[in-house]
Amino acid sequence: MKPMTIAAEEFRRCLTEYFRAKRSYLFARGRLGLYAGLRAMELPPGAKVIVPGYTCMVVASAIKYVGLVSEYVDIDPKTYNINPSLLSSVSSDSAALIVQHTYGIPCDMPSVQAWTTPRDIPIIEDCCHAVGSTIDGRLCGTFGRFAFLSGQWNKPFSTGLGGMLVVNDPALVEAVERLVNTELKQRGRFSDLLLRCQIAAHDLLVRPATALWLMRAYRLLNRLGLVVGSWSPVEMLCVMPDDYFTAMSPCQIQRGLREMARIDDNIRHRKMMTAFYHDRLSKMGFAPLDVPGAEAIPLLRYPVRVANKQDVLTHAASHRVEIGSWFECPLHPDGTPMEMLGYSQGMCPESERACREVINLPTHLKADESVGDKTLKFLAKFAKPA
Ligand SMILES: *Cc1c(COP(=O)(O)O)cnc(C)c1O
């Protein structure tokens, strides 16, 4: 056993309690939670994992690094989640299925389970967008063998990058434990210091009005290798970096603990902003989110379909509004070599359409109603409903 700091133990305990799980683990990024959980499942090499074809490339690359193969299923255009009615067309010899509660919209778990349960296919939950979303009162993240969460800057709560694995299935605990004890690397001193500075800079500088400019600068610095980014250049080529499987740093753990202390405020605020956009968008001629109880979901971002996505994104930065582009392609971001991850153009037409049409609006704690107002005024001026 490696020594574990008191803060790490406390953060893990908070997560485990929150999700009423068996055990939680902390990593440098969310994708590592998926990687560790999949490794622990000990699936046969080459086994298929069903994934919504509307996700981050790092989900598909984690699957690949474990030696498994992604099988993409298209989304329901209303929920942006895996379309359960398409499951009957995928191979029933799949070894696992990943549900992703996109934008915080809970996946239709009863329909998914109606397909997986008789086939004995284990469910994994990608909760990188969903903390606090529920299905009939049951928290997303409590349905699968394990759930993974991201602490990246723009996720439900940020640990300044970082990731979390919440294990529900007691049978997986021992294997994850072994993996973490034998293979998990610690971040170097310099990288830890850099990250500490980045977290401080982020908290000080990033506001809805500055977010897009700073994001551009950050991406550039990442490309130049000058900051700790959310991906490294080799990863964009689907090659596993040497320092891939790395633990969460103390500065990230401290931030995570602060975020867990205000998680209820965070969720309440997101619900309030969801209701705010929901009400106003329909009056503006944009289609509001068309899922039952939409106005009460603590959305991570409020998705809106527009006919001129690129125009809107181009103007957003200069108008100092925080418009998001998730997802830019079925395996976000733009530029992912999707064929290397088994995705070929046309596989998921609804996902591809969503990538062309969907922009998203901020609901986080720094985006209050006045930010929401400004964002909607911008949309009224520059965006055309799809
Ligand atoms: C951000 C994200 C991830 C990966 O999180 P990282 O912390 O960047 O590894 C996985 N799935 C979804 C849906 C995400 O949005």
Indicate if the pLDDT at residue 157 is higher than 60: yes
Indicate if the pLDDT at residue 231 is higher than 80: no
19 Cβ contact partners less than 8 Å away, ≥ 6 residues apart: 139, 141, 142, 147, 166, 168
Q: Which atom of ligand 1 is nearest to the CA of 152?
A: 7
Query: Which range has the worst mean pLDDT, 199-203, 316-320, 342-346?
Result: 199-203
**Residue 378 pLDDT:** 98
The share of the chain scoring above pLDDT 70, in percent, equals 99
Residue-wise pLDDT for 350-361, tens only, equals 999 999 999 999
Exposed, middle or buried, 263 (CB in 10 Å: 0-12/13-18/19+)? middle
Q: Ligand 1: which of 59, 81, 148, 158 to mutate, most ligand atoms within 8 Å of CB? A: 59
Beta bridge partners of 48: 69
**Residue 1 pLDDT:** 43
Indicate if the pLDDT at residue 138 is higher than 70: yes
**Residue 258 pLDDT:** 96
**Residue 215 pLDDT:** 85
Q: Which atom of ligand 1 is nearest to the CA of 230?
A: 8
Residues near ligand 1 (Cβ within 6 A): 29-31, 55-56, 58-59, 100, 126, 128-129, 150, 152, 155, 163, 230
What is the rounded average pLDDT of the residues 276-296?
96
Distance CA 374, CA 90 (A): 44
pLDDT band at 165 (very low <50, low <70, confident <90, very high): very high
Indicate if the pLDDT at residue 74 is higher than 50: yes
Residue 73 neighbours by CB distance under 10 Å: 23
- For the chain, the average pLDDT equals 95
**Residue 190 pLDDT:** 85
What is the rounded average pLDDT of the residues 187-205?
87
Indicate if the pLDDT at residue 329 is higher than 70: yes
Residue 137 neighbours by CB distance under 10 Å: 5
Indicate if the pLDDT at residue 115 is higher than 70: yes
CA of 285 to the centre of ligand 1 (A): 31
Q: Ligand 1: which of 56, 328, 332, 341 to mutate, most ligand atoms within 8 Å of CB? A: 56
Indicate if the pLDDT at residue 365 is higher than 90: yes
